[in-house]
Amino acid sequence: MSQPVKNIVLGISGGIAAYKCAELVRRLTERGCKVKVVMTESAKHFITPLTMQAVSSEMVADSLLDPSAEAAMGHIEFAKWADLILVAPASCNILAKMAQGIADDLLTTLLLATPAKVAVAPAMNQLMYAHPATQANIATLRARDIAIWGPGKGEQACGDVGSGRMLEPLELVERCLAPVQAPVLLGKTFTITAGPTREPLDPVRYISNHSSGKMGFALAKAALELGATVNLISGPVSLSAPEGATLFPIETARDMLNSALQLAPQSDVFIGCAAVADYRAATIAEHKIKKQGDEITLTMVKNPDVIAHVAALKENRPYTVGFAAETQDIQQYAKAKLKNKNLDMICANDVSVKGLGFNANDNALSLFWSDDCLNLPTTSKQQLAMQVMHALSKRLN
């Protein structure tokens, strides 16, 4: 991992979200970054070069054919100076140009000439963002190791609601200052399960557990940041899938098994992070179960073991990683599951510790292989997920 970014070129394309760029530059400079701004002609309709010059304390570049700048090959100097080039807002037009390698203005030219890390913060109408052409362009850029930051969801300037909002300045600042991750998982496909399952008893009741999905979603995000393609099979949670992941929502353990067996043979790695219900009702009542005295007896039957089924695949078996949430004898139970389920790796955690595990933002894990182990101390689930992915990458490469 490299040191936090200091020299940033902010490329502003045409979009109403350009008004946020003044705040973005101000926040970056407060944190010690040097920011140079490049604007497209369209961008100048939404925010002026004078405004961006004032907040950055740097002359704004907006022309590829400026004789004074190009006498010294200005666009090449910009490209070499930057530690990071962030295009924000990134309109669907600029994304299309980048995907096709078009260089018809200063911004698109320096994007082809830079050795620096490049990130884009998409901002557009939700229908434009969802269009297959835009999605194909984003997939192309991601495959070239260009970071896709966002978009967020919510109400848009046109009144529509959906994906397409540029991330807020402070979130972009956080990403700019985060250590740059090498794409060690580029070319790998991950399928990750997350969250709980729900096993119905009748039309209004079900059996479930306290899993929030936070660890599985953190793993999906970390894998994406390291260059992987990610399928995310998730039970009912209140989280939004990380941008770039393909979400497969499910309800029951059998639903999860069906999705897992469909996706696992197409994957390099399968991670079973979901808290799958061990049992389900033998029969589901057609109507709501009424009170029947002080006690009720339910007959339960065993659910399929999703991770064991994946690990038992005879053809196109992925590298299979399980999770073990235990309350005692963590190492003993984890090693037994590793062996009995024919896993390549297992991540174990103690859910009896207050503030860790289910619904918490932090966790601690012990990683076990047949020939080694690694203890990861308490930290945020997102940081922990990145550590897991780096440990995995060493086994895959």
Residues belonging to the binding site for CTP are 272-274, 278, 288, 304-307, 323, 337, 341
Using DSSP bridges, classify how beta strands 300-302 and 279-281 pair: parallel, antiparallel or unpaired.
Answer: antiparallel
Beta strand residue intervals within the chain, DSSP E: 7-12, 34-39, 84-90, 117-122, 147-148, 152-155, 161-165, 189-194, 199-200, 206-207, 229-234, 246-249, 269-272, 279-281, 300-302, 319-326, 345-350, 362-368, 373-380
Owner of token pair 């040191």: 3
Contact present, 166 and 24 (Cβ < 8 Å): no
Pairing of strands 345-350, 319-326: parallel
Residues 23, 166: contact at Cβ < 8 Å? no
In this structure, the strands spanning 300-302 and 147-148 are unpaired
Q: 3-state class of 71 per DSSP?
A: coil
Rg of the chain (C-alpha set): 24
Picking from 219, 235, 226, 227, the residue whose alpha carbon sits closest to that of residue 270 is 219
Does 158 qualify as catalytic in the annotation? yes
| 59 vs 20: CA distance, rounded Å | 19
Q: List the catalytic residue out of 92, 158, 176, 347.
A: 158
> 3-state class of 33 per DSSP?
coil
DSSP state of 44: G
Closest CA to 204 of 285, 261, 260, 134: 285
As annotated, the binding site includes 272-274, 278, 288, 304-307, 323, 337, 341
Amino acid symbol at 397: N
Both tokens of residue 285?
């009542």
Q: Which among 155, 153, 43, 146 has a CA at the least distance from the CA of 91? A: 43
| Coil/strand/helix, residue 186 | coil
Instruction: Indicate the burial class of 189 (C-beta count within 10 angstroms; 0-12, 13-18, 19 or more).
Output: middle
Residues designated catalytic: 158
